[in-house]
Chains A and B, each alone.
Chain A
Amino acid sequence: MTGEFILETRDLTKEFKGFTAVDRVNLKVRRGSIHALIGPNGAGKTTVFNLLTKFLAPTSGGILYKGQDITAEAPGHVAQKGIIRSFQISAVFPNLTVLENVRVALQRKLGTSFHFWQSEKTLDQLNSRAMELLEQVDLTQFAALTAGELPYGRKRALEIATTLAMDPELMLLDEPTQGMGHEDVGRVVELIRKVAANRTVLMVEHNMSVVANLSSTITVLQRGAVLAEGPYETVSKDPRVLEAYVGSEDAHG
């Protein structure tokens, strides 16, 4: 039985020492959709991601993934169930090669990740799959470089390739185009569209043209609470949303 929603939150709340960063959020992410989470700086978007991936424990409320309560799971287990996130600040393994970055993600499935007595050459069987993933993000020519040497936009692409290597059912992308030049943004948009073909994507994004371009549903957060929800056409005309963005420096797009 597959439900309509892959992910649901029930009154999800996170308080930091009396300050409510996430306030009774009820999110429903439709299976197979690209869902955007937007809102001014400090609205609580990254905190929602941290709650969903169990990097933070919620103060109250619950999280359902594929109808199953995952509120009490450990972060590693949530990832193993198919929820994979990227980070707002580029998260590569800087001293591993580009190829190794992707391979580390593929490696767990071999079941040899605790084998300290085996040679790492046994991982070479994953190289061709890793190269395929790098090809999807146009990074094949950089495979042997250490990841730290890549320019910023390429690092973000590598991060997406690493996330894809996990073959996630639900991808959480935290500002995938942040800090990118115009061309890189276009490339990442196409990439997200491509990879979203057979999975669900929940993304935080400030760039409104990216949001308008990709997502079928938008949830607007403000001061931790859901302000509005719906398709771009409705949300972008909602007076409350316009007001929330007035005076906020993020009102680009």
Chain B
Amino acid sequence: MSLSKTGVLYIAVLALACAAPFIGGYPLFLMKCLCFALFACAFNLLIGFTGLLSFGHAMFFGMAAYIAAHSAKVWGWTPEVAIIAATLGSAALGYVTGWLAVRRQGIYFAMITLALSQMVYFFCVQAPFTYAEDGIQSVPRGKLFGVISLADDRVMYYFVLAIFVFGYWMIHRIIHSPFGQVLKSIRENEPRALSLGYEVHKYKLLAFVLSAALAGMAGATKALALGLATLTDVQWQMSGEVVLMTLLGGMGTIAGPVVGSTIIIAMQNYLSGFGSWVTIIMGATFVVCVLAFRRGIVGELQHFLKSRSNKA
């Protein structure tokens, strides 16, 4: 795919996203899709572009949801301030977690992130401000910059879309930056990167903090959009779900996680009538996808287009 074709595709998708609420898209559903898409993109920054499998990303998503919900509801902060505060909170949590984890390799890295996210989960179960099982409910969306009311779902949708576009653009920029080049070289061959004088754990740490911050931004936005921050957001299943979304869409492709997360959210939404069967259907879909397209949906598509253009 040439660059201009990609550009055209982006514009088309963006136009579609802008029109979506007027052509039958259900704003709450669309917002949920966007938030999880951003979450998956943030996660992919680590696994796809740095080669680190975090199994605790729910802690950033969920913690930010709590911070945003609490500061908007109890302290009455405006939505943009609540989201920024939550994003910074996740970045700080990411710094601590990353600092402990980045010197470990492979499965040990995943285990440490999992263990720390479990600690965060138990903290959230105990802490009074999270209201344990009930969660923080009916979080007010407030007024953007203290002026524009976000109470209307469509208005909120455009705010969420703007955040998503910003997050996606950030990730694109990070991947295609001098820093991104070093990340890719670490992913490809860590000992070699080290022998070229890169102190790899510092690069991994920055990648981890950026990923945590963006995951937090997604969680905070979700809490305001749906008016809800619950234990589900910090639970380990959420960490697993984001892995699934990313693998399904194609890790290491920038658009893959968006596709993967949208499919999963749509399945959860439209198949909810099947009750607990949803989990089984999703599991089966996942197994089929992993067997049929190892590179994920977008990964396979890119591969197909590339091999076709090579033949031509």
A residues bordering B, Cβ < 8 Å?
53, 55, 74-77, 79-80, 84-85, 87, 91-96, 100, 103-105, 107-108, 110, 112-120, 122-123, 162, 166
Contact = CB atoms under 8 A, between A and B. Distances in A.
A119 B195 contact: no
The 9 closest A-B pairs by CB, nearest first: A79-B197, A76-B199, A93-B188, A116-B179, A91-B192, A80-B197, A116-B174, A112-B178, A104-B185
Interface string B192-218: 111111111011001000100000000
Contacts of A76: 194, 197-200
Contacts of A100: 181
Contact of B177 (A55, A77, A110, A117): A117
Interface of B: 173-174, 176-182, 184-185, 188-189, 191-200, 202-203, 206, 210
16 contacts: A75-B195, A79-B196, A84-B197, A91-B192, A92-B189, A93-B189, A93-B192, A96-B185, A104-B182, A104-B185, A105-B196, A113-B181, A113-B198, A119-B177, A120-B180, A162-B192
B133 to A, nearest CB: 39
Nearest to A86: B195
A104 B231 CA distance: 43
A73 B51 CA distance: 26
Contacts of A108: 196-198
A111 to B, nearest CB: 10
A104 B196 contact: yes
A187 to B, nearest CB: 22
Contacts of A117: 173-174, 177
A85 B179 contact: no
Nearest to B186: A93
B188 A84 contact: no
Nearest to B206: A114
Contacts of B189: 91-94
Nearest to B182: A113
A122 B180 CA distance: 12
B173 A116 contact: yes
Nearest to A122: B178
Contact of A94 (B181, B188, B206): B188
Contacts of B203: 113-114
Main secondary structure of the interface of B (DSSP, over half): helix
A84 B179 contact: no
A166 to B, nearest CB: 6
Contacts of A115: 177-179
A79 B195 contact: yes
A44 to B, nearest CB: 19
Given A95-B184, A96-B188, 15 more contacts: A55-B194, A75-B194, A77-B197, A79-B198, A91-B191, A91-B192, A92-B192, A93-B192, A104-B196, A113-B178, A117-B174, A119-B173, A120-B177, A120-B178, A123-B178
A10 B193 CA distance: 28
A139 B170 CA distance: 35
B198 A116 contact: no
A95 B186 CA distance: 11
B199 to A, nearest CB: 4
A95 B188 contact: yes
Given A95-B188, A96-B188, A74 B178 contact: no
A120 B188 contact: no
Given A93-B189, A104-B185, A116 B196 contact: no
A91 to B, nearest CB: 4
Contacts of B178: 107, 110, 112-113, 115, 118, 120, 122-123
B130 to A, nearest CB: 32
A166 B196 contact: yes
A174 to B, nearest CB: 11
B46 to A, nearest CB: 13
Contacts of B176: 119-120
Contacts of A84: 195-197
Nearest to A79: B197
Contacts of B200: 76
A85 B180 contact: no
Contacts of A166: 196-197
Contacts of A53: 195
Nearest to A166: B196
B184 to A, nearest CB: 6
Contacts of A91: 189, 191-192, 195
B194 A79 contact: yes
Contact of A113 (B179, B188, B191, B210): B179
A243 B179 CA distance: 52
Contacts of B202: 114
A142 B113 CA distance: 41
